[in-house]
Amino acid sequence: MEYQGGLMESTAVDFATDVNLADFSLGSHHNESTAREMAPAQSLDLYDRLCDFASFGNRTLSFWESMPVLNRLGDPGKEELKTSPLLDRPKRKRMITYAQRQAANIRERKRMFNLNEAFDQLRKKVPTFAYEKRLSRIETLRLAIVYISFMTELLDSYQKKDGCSGLG
């Protein structure tokens, strides 16, 4: 569990701090030039990175190999798992009936349905782009990360500029 948590945390940090995504153009309800005018200078770098959404998928193999988080999942990591005390424990063999397996399948389908509903809600919250096809799940997550970073930085810069201490 501790290992898993660390992995997720560092992966999120990598996504949030080193995002360079694929080409896209802003959609109809997000006018690019207007958004640029609205964005303070400090935000333009992040804005450009948002507008650069896509070369993320074009990372070279050496880039991925350079990521320490992923390297931990390589062969040495597997060896660690193989020899971990956790896996040395005798495996519990759970006998399961056909009906139970079917019920589990239905629950899993429902779980994935809920997950996809959440993805759909997230798709509606992030800016839409002139894609012919809808965002995939991974694209949605990556774009949401960049979008949140952009909006956070935008808010910070406005607060600094106006000298206000907060909204509340």
Partner DNA sequence: TAGGCCATCTGGTCCT
Partner DNA sequence: AGGACCAGATGGCCTA
Applying CB under 7 A, the residues found at the interface with DNA are: 1, 4, 57, 86-87, 91-94, 96, 100-101, 103-109, 111-113, 116, 132-133, 136-139
Q: Which is nearer to DNA, 101 or 160 (CB)?
A: 101
Q: Which is nearer to DNA, 35 or 141 (CB)?
A: 141
CB of 109 to DNA, least distance (A): 5
Rounded Cα gap, residues 47 and 15, in angstroms: 16
CB of 155 to DNA, least distance (A): 30
CB atoms within 10 A of CB 92: 5
**What are 25's two structure tokens?**
């153009």
CB atoms within 10 A of CB 83: 10
CA 138, 142, 143, 148 torsion-angle sign:
positive
Q: Which is nearer to DNA, 107 or 125 (CB)?
A: 107
CB of 140 to DNA, least distance (A): 8
φ, ψ of residue 26 in degrees (nearest 5): -70, 145
CB of 8 to DNA, least distance (A): 8
Rounded Cα gap, residues 83 and 103, in angstroms: 34
Which residues lie across from 26 on neighbouring strands?
129
Q: Which is nearer to DNA, 33 or 97 (CB)?
A: 97
